[in-house]
Amino acid sequence: MKGQATVVKNAGSHFLLSRLPEWAPFPAVLKGKIRLSGSEATNPVAVGDLVTYDYSEEPSLTHPASIMEVADRKNYVIRRSTNLSRQSHVIAANLDRVFIVVTLFFPEIKLPFLDRILLTCEVYGIPATIVLNKVDIFRKEFPEQLSDFRRIYGTAGYPVIETSALTGEGMEELKAAIREAGDTSVSLFTGESGVGKSSIIKALDPNLNPKVGDISIAHLQGKHTTSLYEMYPLSSGGFIIDSPGLRGFGLVDLKKEEICLYFPEMLREMRNCRFTPCTHTHEPGCAVKQAVDEGRISNERYNSYLGMLEEDKKFRA
């Protein structure tokens, strides 16, 4: 018999499926090799994928379903390895929103890393929200840096929800943001290791139990605790995907002349550039560079853009 279900957990070649919005996961395995048209990703099946499965009796641990086909995705988040290999990995598919969890320190934020995730969300048309965790610390110890962060991403037009998994601050606002996408929506939670992503998920719903890690004192970097991609149902509505903490995020299949199109604040200004096309790096009469000088585009975001242009050269060398 055949059926359709959503992938809710990926553990290598073994999966859990559920017929969403019903939450009743059952095991599945890949039969043979599945290739997606035009994709070079290392994982042809990702959490969030809608798949066709086959089984001879009700799926069980001893008789799991067999995944036969992956339906066309409405969107996905994909990253390329940050080394010179061309391998890419689909983090999650068919998303209604992405929540990027960051901290200013402990571990220290890398703005280019955040900007690469935001740009990827723009490319695939997925609304993105920044979740700034550990604000109970930053308001006391680093108020200027907190103000700078609000300025950078407020100017860019991204919503920022300030949270503390420790005190519970911001959790109701975060739940409301998840519900805005609908009671059956699927949201991805992603970010670097150690930012408190799993702690936030547990604070959102104490019934959930994602792995929680700590910080390496020697390097002030988060320990990698979540090794699997897994979806959870929230008691307050919607489904969320927890992903392993990322340490790098390379861009995939984006030409350098297209990069500026996915910076919303640059897109607003570039129509006024004197020359078309304009790289927004050296041309006279560049409206983007003028906007940077006048503060409508932050220097930090503009520098991220320049870094992506350099990254493009590295991968195409």
Each residue's pLDDT tens digit, 230-258: 999 999 899 999 988 765 666 767 888 89
CATH 3.40.50.300 fits 76-242, yes or no: yes
The CATH class for the domain spanning 2-70 reads: mainly beta
pLDDT of residue 78: 87
Domain(s) labelled CATH 2.40.50.140 in the chain stretch across 2-70
Comparing 173 with 88, the larger pLDDT belongs to 173
| Rounded Cα gap, residues 299 and 284, in angstroms | 18
Q: Three-state secondary structure along 137-177?
A: HHHHHCHHHHHHHHHHHHHHCCCEEECCCCCCCCHHHHHHH
Q: Which residues of 111-125 are buried (b: 16+ CB within 10 A; e: fewer)?
A: bbbbbbbbbbbbbbe
Which conformational region is residue 246 in: left (phi greater than 0), alpha (psi within -120 to 50 degrees), or beta? Answer: beta
Beta bridge mates, 54: 2, 66
Please list the residue range(s) of the chain that carry CATH number 1.10.40.50: 256-316
Which residue, chain included where needed, has tokens 């792995």?
211
Pairwise CA distance, residues 188 & 172, whole Å? 18
| Paired strand residues for 60 | none
Domain with CATH 3.40.50.300 in the chain: 76-242
Tokens of 212: 């929680």
Kindly give, in sequence order, each residue whose CB lies less than 8 Å from that of residue 277, ignoring residues fewer than 6 positions away.
257
Cα–Cα dist 70/240, whole Å? 20
Q: How far apart are CA 118 and CA 173, in angstroms?
A: 20
Q: What is the pLDDT of residue 213?
A: 38
What does the pLDDT read at residue 311?
Answer: 75
Instruction: Please tell me the distance from the alpha carbon of residue 51 to that of residue 156, in angstroms, as a whole number.
Output: 36
Neighbours of 300 (CB within 10 A): 18
pLDDT in tens, 163-221: 999 999 999 999 999 999 888 999 999 998 889 998 999 999 998 876 543 333 333 33
User: In percent, how much of the chain has pLDDT > 70?
Assistant: 85
Q: Rounded to an integer, what distance in angstroms lies between the CA atom of residue 79 and that of residue 246?
A: 10
With a pLDDT cut of 90, the percent of the chain lying above it is 66
CA dist list (Å): 209 to 100, 172, 259: 20, 19, 38
The closest of 26, 47, 27 to 226, measured between CA atoms, is 47
Tell me the pLDDT of the chain averaged across its residues.
86
> Whole-prediction pTM value?
0.87
Right CATH for 256-316 from 1.10.40.50, 1.20.1260.10, 3.30.56.10, 3.40.50.1000: 1.10.40.50
Write out the H or E segment, with its range, that includes residue 202.
Answer: helix 197-204
**Residue 209: what pLDDT?**
73
